[in-house]
A and B are shown apart, each in its own frame.
Chain A
Amino acid sequence: MALGVVALALPGSAEAQLRDIVAKSVSASSSGASLELGFRDDATLRVRFDDGDVILDGNVIGSYRTGDELDRAWRALLGEAMALEDGALAERLVDWSAPSSLSGGLADAARELDDAFERALRETQAPAEAETRDVDASSQNGHSLARLLVGAIGRLGALDEALSGLDEDFRIHVDEDVTVGRDEVVDASIVVIEGTLTVEGGITGDVVVVGGALDVREDGYIEGEARIADARVLRDNGEIRGGIVDVLDDERDFQDDLRDRLRDEIREELRSNLRSELREAARLEDGDSYSIMAPLRPVIRGVGGVFEKLVLVFILGLLGAGFFAFAGENVDAIAETARRTPARAAMVGFAGSFLLIPVWLLGAIVLAVSIIGIPVAIAWLPLFPLAAILAALLGYIAVARVAGEWLADSGYPWTGWIRKSNPIVTLVGGLLGLLMAFIASHVISIAPFLGLLSGLLFALGVIVTIIAAEVGFGAVLLTRAGRRPEYPGGFDADAAWEAAMNIDVEEGLDAKHDREDQT
């Protein structure tokens, strides 16, 4: 029976002089400087110079002043520590000693620090019993030994799977990195457990890697299979002629199936719950169940709708009052344009509405293509829609005022309370007029069998609202938000006098002058 060479590099090393430093943190600010070390056994050493105190592992061991000799020595040490790691850092810290020129409390604190470094870093580790040794074994023994080793590290199943059917000549390496050199050809199979196998040359047999890595470099090759169990494959143009077999694929597939099944079950459960919730919500909405309130639902819905519109009138009235107070002349100009050329304003409004989104997006593009414009684009994206909404509201309110004035002059019943001398009352009257179709729709919906009429009224309300908004928006655009009046507005004393007395003031004056000339 052929023998396999089993090279075992078990964990363990020669006795260490200094502890391993696995983590390091060096910090500095105007108020202090600190060093924190972490060791392999999770122990730590913390030294802080902080606001005049020297603090070792949380205990104040002395004091210093910013810029004194101890502070300077400490900062110089940390300056070196910043660039050093692990062994070199440990050596430097152990070698550090208090400056001889220190005296008194500074010297005591420095000595304590020196001792602390010695204690923390010179703790020796117990020598490991195991050492690297070569063991010759038959392949059968190799299997047994491997199983023993692998059992100890919890990879028995994986290795057992990977070794099945392997050639009898092979080498095992445990917990060590192995390199097959560029000009080297290994005429056997290689098993590496918890290590990295780097192949720069050739391997004529198979390769088994468990819990490590297989790195096949350029020009490296493996004639047989690469069997991988919980290991990585790095292939930098190297060849694995027998292909890669992941021996844990089946296990992973099983886990994936299990996960998918669980996911499907959870998803189905969620769907089922969601359906139940939706059914319950729909049942409550439709009033499938008997309720003492059921006969009153149309009344509640109708009254609620009317109330909603009244609240809307109130809010728009407040907004209008604000516009009248702070931009009264602008509202006058917009209202005048809406009154005199409603069709033109509506056309401009519709065109403006269609162009809003393209203008918004194109503006963003123009600004975004340059770095300088990006901040402006960020402001443009939310502010442009906001300005458009504000313009539409301003226009709608101006149109409502025009509607209120028209209603005041109309002589219709229940419009006598609308007084043109009070713009707020006129506005509220106009808003109620514009929303009247909605209000009527809600009132009618209370009565049974009038659903169609209610729907028609609602549609009429929508049409009126759209037309009013477009006329208003167009008037806002035409007058540049009321800053460029298209028609003279405001109070004209002569016109008011002529209207009231039914005379022509200019004509009267001319007649008077003629009489004076004759006399």
Chain B
Amino acid sequence: MRTTMTIAAALLVPVAIQGQSWKTVTMSRQLQDNDEVRVSVDYGSGDFSVRSVDEGVLYRMNLRYDEDRFEPVADYSGRRLRLGVDAIGRNITVGRSRSGAMELELARGVPLDLDLNFGAVRADIDLGGLSLTGLSLSTGASESTIDVSEPNPLEMETAHVEAGATQFSMMGLGNLNADRIEIDAGVGEITLGLDGRWRRDSRLVIDVGVGSLELRVPEGLGIQLRKNSFLTALDSEGLVKRGDVYESPDFQDADRRVIIDLDAAFGRVSVVWTRAEHGKP
């Protein structure tokens, strides 16, 4: 929304941004059919948001960028959509600069194989409402908040998330409708919410390097934690140790069960029980 307002302001008050090389652009493409589209988004630095939209467009992208250093990318061909910004030349900026922004809206109801790559950004992503057949999300040194606020109507085989040095939060994992969710985190604070509507039993594979991991588990969801860790403290409140694994007390009788394979190197892992917010677990 902030980018939209900036564009409107730039259109109406051209003199106000005189002397700066910032450019704002809004791009969109009409929805022509409901066939699957493979979407690839690359964004380097700034504010980054993703939402679903239900207004007959395949995508709508609002960008604010430095036109001396970047150029927008919106390429659609052969059921492949590539969005984001590309650097012009090999400029390297030393010191702080004003950050750009990218707001992306993607069509509801269109099957999307989504590939998001972003670097040093402040990301606010809501995948709720999107029909995802695949998800690959990769982030660098960022502060990322990802929510799957509504169930994904399509079944997904694997959702893969890779986070570097980051403060990373991903909620509504159950709404992804994925057989397998892979989280590969490097260094930082990771928060994973296992809320949402789990359609079937799933597997969550977490590989954490150094840092803290908090698993927020809604009451009623059966979880089994298989831990393979080194110098990692586990706060397993509410879990029962059976052999080599930790289970929720009602794991065997739970309607939906999630098996968590946790591989952690150094840090702290805690399990926090919550009330379900995104529908039944």
Q: Which residues of A contact B (CB under 8 A)?
A: 20-30, 33, 38, 40, 66-67, 71, 75-76, 78-79, 82, 85-86, 196, 212-213, 215, 232, 234, 236, 361-362, 364-365, 368-369, 371, 374, 377-378
**B96-108 toward A: CB 8 Å interface, digit per residue (1/0)?**
0000000000000
Q: A29-B67, A85-B57, A377-B187 are in contact. Are A79 and B12 (CB under 8 A)?
A: yes
Q: Is the CB of A23 within 8 A of B14?
A: no
**B1-27 toward A: CB 8 Å interface, digit per residue (1/0)?**
000100110111011011111111111
For A21, the chain B residues whose CB sits under 8 A away are 30
Task: Tell me the number of A-to-B contacts counted with CB atoms below 8 Å.
Answer: 130
Report Cα–Cα, A232/B22, bound state, in Å: 43
8 inter-chain pairs at a CB distance below 8 angstroms, sorted by A residue, are A25-B26, A25-B28, A27-B72, A33-B10, A79-B12, A234-B153, A364-B187, A369-B267
**B185-228 toward A: CB 8 Å interface, digit per residue (1/0)?**
00111000000000000000000001110000000000000000
The residue in chain A whose Cβ has the minimal distance to the Cβ of B212 is A369
Closest chain-A Cβ to B152's Cβ sits at a distance in Å of: 10
The residue in chain A whose Cβ has the minimal distance to the Cβ of B4 is A82
Closest chain-B Cβ to A519's Cβ sits at a distance in Å of: 80
- Interface size, chain B (Cβ < 8 Å): 50
Q: A28-B24, A85-B55, A86-B30 are in contact. Are A79 and B8 (CB under 8 A)?
A: yes
Which of A362, A365, A378 gathers most chain B CB within 10 Å? Answer: A365
Closest chain-B Cβ to A276's Cβ sits at a distance in Å of: 37
A interface, by DSSP: helix, strand, loop or mixed? mixed
Q: Is the CB of A85 within 8 A of B30?
A: yes
For A75, the chain B residues whose CB sits under 8 A away are 11-12, 14
With A28-B14, A33-B14, A79-B12 given, name 18 new contacts (CB 8 A). A23-B76, A25-B27, A26-B25, A27-B24, A27-B25, A28-B24, A40-B32, A75-B12, A76-B12, A79-B11, A82-B8, A82-B11, A234-B154, A365-B231, A368-B187, A368-B188, A369-B267, A378-B141
For A38, the chain B residues whose CB sits under 8 A away are 29
For B20, the chain A residues whose CB sits under 8 A away are 30
Closest chain-A Cβ to B59's Cβ sits at a distance in Å of: 10
Report Cα–Cα, A25/B210, bound state, in Å: 43
Q: A79-B12, A365-B210 are in contact. Are A30 and B30 (CB under 8 A)?
A: no
Report Cα–Cα, A38/B74, bound state, in Å: 12
Q: Is the CB of B14 within 8 A of A67?
A: yes
Interface status of B268 (Cβ within 8 A of chain A) = yes
With beta carbons under 8 angstroms apart, the residue of B30, B55, B211 that contacts A369 is: B211
Q: Is the CB of B12 within 8 A of A29?
A: no
For B25, the chain A residues whose CB sits under 8 A away are 25-28
With beta carbons under 8 angstroms apart, the residue of B10, B30, B57, B266 that contacts A29 is: B10
Q: Is the CB of B11 within 8 A of A364?
A: no
For A371, the chain B residues whose CB sits under 8 A away are 167, 188-189
**B150-194 toward A: CB 8 Å interface, digit per residue (1/0)?**
010110000000000101000000000000000000011100000
Q: Is the CB of B12 within 8 A of A368?
A: no
Interface status of B34 (Cβ within 8 A of chain A) = yes
The residue in chain B whose Cβ has the minimal distance to the Cβ of A23 is B29
User: Which A-B residue pairs are the 7 nearest by beta carbons?
Assistant: A27-B25, A29-B23, A28-B10, A79-B11, A75-B11, A25-B27, A22-B30
Report Cα–Cα, A431/B268, bound state, in Å: 47
Report Cα–Cα, A38/B75, bound state, in Å: 12
Report Cα–Cα, A203/B257, bound state, in Å: 32
For A213, the chain B residues whose CB sits under 8 A away are 34
Report Cα–Cα, A234/B26, bound state, in Å: 32
The residue in chain A whose Cβ has the minimal distance to the Cβ of B13 is A75
Q: A28-B23, A213-B34 are in contact. Are A374 and B14 (CB under 8 A)?
A: no
Interface status of B128 (Cβ within 8 A of chain A) = no
Q: Is the CB of B18 within 8 A of A30?
A: yes
Give residues 244-266 of B contacting A (CB, 8 Å).
Answer: 266
Report Cα–Cα, A10/B163, bound state, in Å: 48
Report Cα–Cα, A330/B167, bound state, in Å: 42
Q: Is the CB of B165 within 8 A of A374?
A: yes
**B65-80 toward A: CB 8 Å interface, digit per residue (1/0)?**
0010000101010000
Q: Is the CB of A66 within 8 A of B15?
A: yes
The residue in chain A whose Cβ has the minimal distance to the Cβ of B153 is A234
Report Cα–Cα, A26/B26, bound state, in Å: 5
Report Cα–Cα, A362/B230, bound state, in Å: 12
Report Cα–Cα, A212/B35, bound state, in Å: 8
Give residues 116-172 of B contacting A (CB, 8 Å).
Answer: 131, 141, 151, 153-154, 165, 167
The residue in chain A whose Cβ has the minimal distance to the Cβ of B29 is A23
Report Cα–Cα, A213/B20, bound state, in Å: 49
Report Cα–Cα, A76/B11, bound state, in Å: 7
Interface status of B56 (Cβ within 8 A of chain A) = yes
For B111, the chain A residues whose CB sits under 8 A away are 232
Closest chain-A Cβ to B280's Cβ sits at a distance in Å of: 11
Report Cα–Cα, A23/B27, bound state, in Å: 8
